Structure formats: C-alpha cells, structure tokens
Amino acid sequence: MLTGCLRKGSKSTRLKMALMLLVLSCQFVHVLSEKSSSALTVVESTETSLDDEDAHHMEEESDPEDLNVFRPTDQWQSLKPGQAVPRGSHVRLNLQTRQREVKLGEHQILKYQIDGQRQGKENTPGPSFNAEELKKALKNIKEGVDPETSDKEEKEALRAQFRPMEELKRDMAKLDMLMESDFQVISRLMSQFNSSNTTVEEKIKALHDLEYLVHQVDNAQNLASRGGLKLVVDALNSTDYRLQESAAFVLGSALSSNPVVQVGAVESGTLQKLLMLLATPRPMSVKKKALFAVASLLRHFPFAQSHFLKLGGLQVLGDLFRASDGGALRVRIVTILYDMINEKELISQTGLDPIPDASHNERLQQYAQISLMPLLAEQGWCRLVPELLASPEHDWKEKALRTILAMMPHCQTQYRQDYTLSSSLRTLQEQYQELVLSEQVLGDEDGYFGEILALLETVLLKLK
C-alpha cells in the first residue's frame, strides 16, 4: 500500500517519506540499546493494592534482596541504571539528557494522600534495610530470639548516649562550690579588710562591695553577727579620710530600717564616733556620709534618739548648720529634725502607728521620755530653721515650712515677734501665687507649687 502511494506522489514526497522512515529506524534502534521495554510507554495500573503488585513483580524478575527500588514523587526525577520502579509509575525518556525519568501515577498520588504516607509534593522515604539487616532479622525470628533481650540492648545503646544522673549531680555540686553565697562573700570581704597585708585601696574596694550587699536586711544582720560591724565602726577612727567616708557609707546602708543592726550600733558606741566626725574638721564628703549614717540610726528608733540628745547631738547639728561650709548639709539637718518630731507625733496618736506590733506600748514609753521640742526652742532652732527659706531651691523651702509648722507649738510666740519672718513669708506667698497661676495655665490644677503655697498660707494663718 505504501508502494502505491509512492508511485502516485512526486519525487519530493518520496524523499520526505524516506527521511521519516530513517529517523524512526534510528530511534527504534536507540531504544533497543537501552534494554528497557518501557522506555517510550506509560504503564498504568488499575489495581488497588500497590504493595501486592510490587511484591509480585519483584518475585518474577529477581531476588528482593538485590533490588534497589526507586521511590518516585509527583515530579519527574532521573532514574539510575539498575533501579526498579513501582508499578503504576510514569516513565519517559528525556531526549535532551538521554536519561530515563520517572514520577508517580495519578492513582498513586491519590492513594498516598488518603493513607497519609505522602504529602503530594514531598518525598518522605520510609525506613530502608539492606540485605544483611533483613537476613539477620529473619534469622532472629527463626531462632526465637527473646524480644526482651533485644529491648534491653536498645535501652543500653540509648543509655550510652546520655550521661548518668549521678554524674550530673556531682558536676552540679562542683558548680555550687564555685558559686559564693552572700554570706560567703561578706566573710571573704571581712577577712580581706581585716588583713594586715591589704592596702588602703583594697580596703576601700572591700567596703564598697559591702555597702552594696548590706542594703538587704539579712546581709546587714549577718555582717553584725560575724563581727563585721565592729570592723567598720573602728574604720571611722582611721587617719585616712577615704576610709572614714566609705565606712560611714556602709553604716548608713546597714542601719537603714534594720532594728537589729541599730541596736548593735548603739551598744558598740557608733553614735559617739559619728558625732565626733561631724563635730571636728573633716572634708565635706566625710560629713555627708556621717550625717547619712546618723539619720539611718535615728529613724524609727527612739532609744537611739534619746542617746543622741544626751550626747549633745542637737548642739553638734546646730554648730554644723551655722558653719560657713554647712550650706549643703542644712536641708539634711532640717530633715532629720522634722522626722524626729513627726515620728513622735504620729505614734502618740491612737491608731496611727505605722508598724503595729507587740512592742507598741514600749515604744510609746520610749518616745514619751524624749524631750525634743523644748531642746529645739532652747538651742535656737526656732530661728535657725526659717533661714532655709532664703534658699533658691523649692525643695528646701518646702522642708523648712513643714518643720516650722511642726515646731509651731513651741516657737509660735517667737515667730509672731519676728517681723522679718512675716515679711519673707508674704513675699514668698506672692511668688508662689504667680507660680500656681502658671501651673494652672498649663493644665496642672494640683501642682507642686500649689502644695508649697498651701503650706505658706497655713503658716501665715497660725501667725495671726
């Protein structure tokens, strides 16, 4: 039939047909050289059990132990020589790379999606076993190997990958030995400070580290129980002003709101040494730290306040207030006096004890024994405190006004006779009225200047 067609066609038609036959023949020969009966075909299967078909196919062709089964995905992948392909896969010959390529068939993708074994686009191969592993497993089954023994071996292998708990505990214990507690640090700093081989700079550094620790109540009490408080107090007698300043700073931090340490300080004569620093020529930095320690010792401690008055503490503060270089300390001195007056007034009022406890009555008796106000009037504090109103600082003026009001019962007569004080108060009243108006313009109805103006008006009212 083909010969008839060629006879009827022209010469050019015959050449084209011959060329096509030649190309087809070459392609057919190439396919045969690849030794694959499925190189240019797509084999699809309609069976529902892929595992049964694969097993049957492998039994017919070769030993399963020798097969290298390729696991295709939904994308075309190159197939290496000798690799087996599951039934139902698409196989093609890539004419450009001259390699066979394979991918899953449509029904295989659907099956793996339903079974949850495949995600469609990700090739997640399952566990693979070589021929030796399979032979060993079959041998164990035939010989009846105890599964419990196998489990023990697996557990031992797993245990070998991790460190025993006892070993971890020993290592953690070693780490704990390297970490110092606050108590150990305080002991080490005390030994360093008390050593005769320690330089002044090293002692100052040790005191600086102690000051950081004794802010905590327990650490301050540990310092006192270990005898460290006495070492710090003795440093107040040092000839080096830097040691005096650092020691007073440590005392102020340790005494703050710590009754146990306050009692130990009074019993060890700390108050006398602090007053000595304030009464004798010392640098301003030393006096500031000493005054800080005195304030911490007296706060909420009537027993120390009583000793303070007996030792002439008010006279020491008065001389310091009058001194030409005592300007920076004036507001701190007035604050100490105000706190002492206010504490006694608050605790004497029923139900206003800031820290109710079983020793309330005892503290009432201790405060009752303190005769502070008559001493303040006697030693000229009614005249000294108003001098602070001339300060340019608003905070200083506020503290002076509050102290003047607290001293008013014993100083009222003297205040009424002081025309300079009345004139100063009226001038301040006018200034703060203007400041209050400026606050109100800015939208601050209850500002800081309004509080000071209220104090001024109260003082003027009591002087009428």
Residue 200 has pLDDT above 50, yes or no: yes
Give the pLDDT confidence of 382-408 residue by residue, as tens digits: 999 999 999 989 999 999 999 999 999
Give the pLDDT confidence score for residue 65 in this predicted structure. 45
- The contacts of residue 238 (CB under 8 Å, 6+ apart) are 244, 247
Q: Say what the pLDDT of residue 58 is.
A: 42
Around Cβ 126, how many Cβ atoms within 10 Å? 6
Angle value at C-alpha 142, between 140 and 148, nearest 5 degrees:
45
The better pLDDT of the pair 328, 236 is held by: 236
Where exactly are the structural domains of the chain? 181-299
Cα dihedral across residues 323, 328, 329, 334: positive or negative: positive
- Taking the C-alpha atoms of residue 127 and residue 115, their distance in angstroms, rounded to an integer, is 17
Q: What are phi and psi of 230, to 5 degrees?
A: -65, -40
Dist CA 380 CA 384 (whole Å): 6
DSSP states of 195-262: -TT--HHHHHHHHHHHHHHTTSHHHHHHHHHTTHHHHHHHGGG-S-HHHHHHHHHHHHHHHTT-HHHH
**308 burial level (CB within 10 Å; 0-12, 13-18, 19+):** buried
Give CA–CA dist 86/72, Å, rounded: 8
Nearest CA to 407 out of 385, 429, 426, 389 is that of 385
Distance CA 172, CA 448 (A): 56
Per-residue confidence (pLDDT) for residue 121, from 0 to 100 = 44
> Which residue, 230, 215, 227, 231, is CA-closest to 182?
215
Instruction: Tell the CATH superfamily of the 181-299 domain.
Output: Leucine-rich Repeat Variant (1.25.10.10)
pLDDT at 9: 47
Q: Which residues contact 202 (CB under 8 A, 6 or more apart)?
A: 192
For residue 206, pLDDT beyond 90: yes
Tell me the average pLDDT across 426-440.
92
CB–CB of 206/192 below 8 Å? yes
Q: What mean pLDDT is predicted for residues 85-97?
A: 80
Q: Specify the long-range contacts of residues 389-394, CB closer than 8 Å, at least 24 apart.
A: 389/424, 389/425, 389/428, 390/424, 391/330, 391/331, 393/331, 394/448, 394/449, 394/452
Other CB atoms within a 10 A radius of the CB of residue 124 amount to 10
Q: What are 330-355's pLDDT values in tens digits?
A: 999 999 999 999 998 887 775 545 55
Residue 12 pLDDT > 70, yes or no? no
Predicted confidence (pLDDT) per residue in 356-365, tens digit: 566 677 778 8
Residues 53 and 50: their CA atoms lie apart, in Å, by 5
Residue pair 279/294 in contact (Cβ under 8 Å)? The answer is no
Selection from 129, 125, 137 nearest residue 72 by Cα: 125
Mean per-residue pLDDT over the chain, rounded: 80
Measured CA to CA, the distance from residue 274 to residue 236 in angstroms comes to 8
Per-residue pLDDT at 6: 38
